[in-house]
Amino acid sequence: MTRVPLLADTRIVVAEPGAEDVVLRPPAQRDVLDDVPQAVRDALAFPLAGEPLERLVRRGGTATLVIEQPSLPIPAAALGPRHFAIAAAADELDRLGVDHLTIVVAGGLLRRTSPREIGLLFPPEFRRRFRGRIVVHDAEAEDLVEVGEVDGVPLRVNRALVETDLVLPVTAAETVVDGGPGALLSATGAESLRAASSPSLLEASGSQGWKLALELERRLQQRVAVTGVSLALNLTRIAGPFAGYPHDEEAVDRLLRSRVRWLFQLAPGRVRQRMLDRLPRDLTAAAVYGGTPSVAHTEALLRGTVFKGCTLDAPLDAVVIGIPPTTPWMPRERPNPITAAYLGLGLALRLWRNAPIIAEGGTAILVHPLPRRFPRPTQTPYRAAMFQTEQEAGGDERALADYRAGHACHPLQPFLEWSASDAVAKRLGAVLVAGCRDAQAARQLGLVPVHGLGAALEMARGRGAQRIGYLVAPPYFPVTVGAA
């Protein structure tokens, strides 16, 4: 009998799929780059579109590197390919004669990276020798430069992206709105960031976020030289005794039979959290592409979708998703109810291509206790969002001051997450929260609290679900779906 371990907060819930059910797991890792810095140099010298870097750089001039917080994939690794790619791109600019280099940390509406956390974005050796300027983007800054508008949405960009000779995003292609031109959009004002919706995180068609990012790229190209580097990352892999999880069934069996699992279940919550945080992880890159940010990003995203995703012949009637004890942003924390729902609905269930993973009117089952937990001050805006309207939150001067000081996310970030989740929930018949301990919080978000996974499965079958999928994650991975 097949058994599927699901990570529900800091506990492991074991599910037993039926004969007609489907276990969704990513494929085994394929290509791994041994030398990421050399691949970056090659990508800049031989771009897919646009001029090579050496023809864009003005000797003695200025350049701006645009990077993102390494939030995806979940879980991440302390030191990964993006760190080395950023250092390699900066070194290449220095070799070509750039005198003044600025690095913009484009975080969108997420909590602004603190001075202490900035060092974690680069390799230790690069941190010691870097002499340029680092700017942490502020979506509420008064000196943002307006470069146009799209469908009535103003594009106001960080000044460092227009007062330079060259703009070079160095990112990983995780979704259509994360990486590539999406990094440029993450260095704009709150209006454009809030409008960056996307039904699918893998398809550009219908994505307002991609449309805004593409137009911003075009507007910047009219002012400065623009090129980019996009990495196609492999999924994060667990090292050690459970190496091969989640794609390897033998690794899953080892986990289920292990005594460590039983000790893990009996341990206090803080101990379980510490054990999960200390699991050895490995994050590698499969390919590096250079050129116009949108072109390089598209190629990297397509590569990742094909080689690290799975395929479904048709949408499922219901999907069971375990929600891990982490936020989808840095630094990692235990999720609040809005963020926990976003991980399942707004992230996992939007990683589809061709068609949504769940058929219209189907059932999503989120396995998580959904406790009403809002650590202060970092998640205070989420607590406020449970009782405020978006307009009230956006005008909260104290919340905006906390965002600008780097204490919390922008007060509109919770609404951005919930609107993405709600868009998925509206096309479904029900969203059940298995193991929910705070029924009031679930109902306030429009979710249905259920005592346990068994009861949730019975409810899904009672609603007509015959083919139920079990998502073995994290890490979350792309799913290509055939026609119904």
In this predicted model, what pLDDT tens digit does every residue of 399-437 receive, in sequence order?
999 999 999 999 999 999 999 999 999 999 999 999 999
Cis-peptide into 241, omega within 30 deg? no
What is the pLDDT at residue 1? 55
Task: Please give the average per-residue pLDDT across 340-347, as a whole number.
Answer: 97
- Percent of the chain clearing pLDDT 90 (strictly above): 81
**Least confident interval from 95-99, 110-114, 198-202, 261-265:** 261-265
Residue 255 has pLDDT above 80, yes or no: no
Which residue carries 């998502």 as its tokens? 471
Q: Are 48 and 93 in contact (CB under 8 A)?
A: no
**Least confident interval from 3-7, 90-94, 96-100, 204-208:** 3-7
Using one digit for the tens of pLDDT, what is the confidence trace for 269-319?
A: 888 888 888 888 889 999 999 999 999 999 999 999 999 999 999 999 999
Where are the extended beta strands (E) located within 337-467?
352-353, 358-367, 430-434, 448-450
Where are the extended beta strands (E) located within 132-284?
133-136, 145-150, 153-157, 166-172, 225-226, 228-233, 237-238, 281-282
How far, in Å, CA of 385 to CA of 401, rounded? 16
**Least confident interval from 327-331, 360-364, 422-426:** 327-331
What is the pLDDT at residue 270? 86
Nearest to 352 by CA among 475, 217, 139, 201: 201
Q: How confident is the model at residue 483 (pLDDT cuts 50, 70, 90)?
A: low
List where CATH 3.90.226.30 sits in the chain: 4-26+309-481
* Residue type present at position 65: L
Residue 484 has pLDDT above 70, yes or no: no
- Specify the CATH class of 36-233 in words: alpha beta
The 8-class DSSP code of residue 343 comes to I
Encoded tokens for 153: 């949405």
How far, in Å, CA of 36 to CA of 174, rounded? 17
Crossing angle, helix 36-45 and helix 81-95, to 10 degrees? 50
What is the pLDDT at residue 257? 79
- Specify the CATH class of 4-26+309-481 in words: alpha beta
Task: Please give the average per-residue pLDDT across 137-150, as a whole number.
Answer: 96
How far, in Å, CA of 72 to CA of 51, rounded? 29
Which residues 6+ apart lie within 8 Å of 50 measured at CB? Answer: 56, 226, 227, 291, 292, 295
Which residues 6+ apart lie within 8 Å of 469 measured at CB? Answer: 21, 22, 23, 24, 312, 316, 318, 319, 320, 357
Using one digit for the tens of pLDDT, what is the confidence trace for 182-225?
A: 999 999 999 999 999 999 999 999 999 999 999 999 999 999 99
Task: Please give the average per-residue pLDDT across 257-268, as a whole number.
Answer: 80
How far, in Å, CA of 344 to CA of 324, rounded? 9
**Least confident interval from 71-80, 167-176, 251-260:** 251-260
Which residue carries 């039904």 as its tokens? 199
**Least confident interval from 173-177, 385-389, 401-405:** 385-389
- Percent of the chain clearing pLDDT 70 (strictly above): 99
Widest distance between CA atoms in the chain: 69
How much is the mean pLDDT over the chain?
Answer: 93
Residue 358 has pLDDT above 90, yes or no: yes
Using one digit for the tens of pLDDT, what is the confidence trace for 33-73?
A: 999 999 999 999 999 999 999 999 999 999 999 999 999 99
Query: Higher confidence at residue 271 or residue 259?
Result: 271
Cis-peptide into 75, omega within 30 deg? yes
List where CATH 3.40.50.11440 sits in the chain: 36-233
What is the pLDDT at residue 4? 87
**Least confident interval from 2-6, 243-247, 294-298:** 243-247
What is the pLDDT at residue 75? 85
Task: Please give the average per-residue pLDDT across 98-102, as a whole number.
Answer: 97
Query: Higher confidence at residue 466 or residue 239?
Result: 466
Q: Count Cβ atoms within 10 A of the Cβ of residue 474 and give its class: 0-12 exposed, 13-18 middle, 19 or more buried.
A: buried
pTM for the model stands at 0.94
How far, in Å, CA of 471 to CA of 477, rounded? 9
